[in-house]
Amino acid sequence: MTRRLLAEFLGAGLLVAVVVGSGTAAQRLSPDDTGLQLLQNSTATVLGLAVLILLFGPVSGAHFNPVVSVADWWLGRGSGTGLSGGAAGAYVVAQCAGGIGGALLANAMFSVDGGLATTERTGTGLLLGEVVATAGLVLLIFALVRTGRAALAAPAVGAYIGAAYWFTSSTSFANPAVTVGRIFSDTFAGIAPSSAPAFVAAQLVGAAVGVVLVLALYPAPARVRL
């Protein structure tokens, strides 16, 4: 368990470092082109996330995301295939701590002054975007797991998040640990503390929708044939 929690801490932390660091670099390299900044930020995130899943997946399953860990516990309760409740709780703590550490690391690498983010991200459209992004992520991950294709998680999840940067209004945070981490960097990728609770709530709703869809489409793990 110690190794698994370390992997989740490092994975979530490095993911946030990739998101915040690439956002900061993009903002400095392309100060007058927000679209190009988003392209640079999303490209780095796609590549970084895929690498992190390959790196830490064999140790902890590479959740890096509280909603994935909680969904894993919920979906595996009957069969005993998922995380235990205690393990899921420990994963969530490690992921959130890692997310904060990753933001602070990115700030230090780019000499960003300390302080919390001031970028307000509010509105029904943005919250709906988080519901959609998170539901799709949960559905994708557990569709792969329940059909014996978990080995494809790195490219598939990376591709989904990269696409969701563009097709969701919120640019697809889809991760409470990442959301919490991004509070601690007042940069292109930051989110104001006042906006974060609503984002996390939307992500939890999206996770619930994703779990329902998993149960509807893939009710029997290891029995689905392609």
Where do the domains of the chain lie, and which CATH numbers do they carry? 2-216 (1.20.1080.10)
pLDDT classification of 80: cutoffs 50, 70, 90: confident
Which residue did the predictor score with more confidence, 114 or 46?
46
Q: What are phi and psi of 195, to 5 degrees?
A: -90, -20
pLDDT tens for residues 191-203?
A: 999 999 999 999 9
Q: What is the residue-averaged pLDDT of the chain?
A: 95
CB 98 within 8 A of CB 10: yes
User: What is the spatial distance between Cα 173 and Cα 181, in angstroms, rounded to a whole number?
Assistant: 11
Per-residue pLDDT tens digits for 98-129:
999 999 999 999 999 878 999 999 999 999 99
pLDDT at 226: 34
| Cβ(173)–Cβ(199) below 8 Å | yes
**What does the pLDDT look like over 146-155, one tens digit per residue?**
999 999 999 9
User: Both tokens of residue 77?
Assistant: 């309760």
Confidence tier at 222 by pLDDT (50, 70, 90): low
Residue 225: pLDDT over 70: no
- What is the CA 94 to chain-centroid distance, rounded? 14
Cα distance between residue 174 and residue 91, in whole Å: 17
Question: Confidence band (pLDDT; 50, 70, 90) for 11?
Answer: very high
More confident residue, 222 or 103: 103
Six-digit token string for 96: 């959130």
Q: Is 175 helix (H, G, I), strand (E, B) or coil?
A: coil
pLDDT: is 107 or 78 the higher one?
Answer: 107
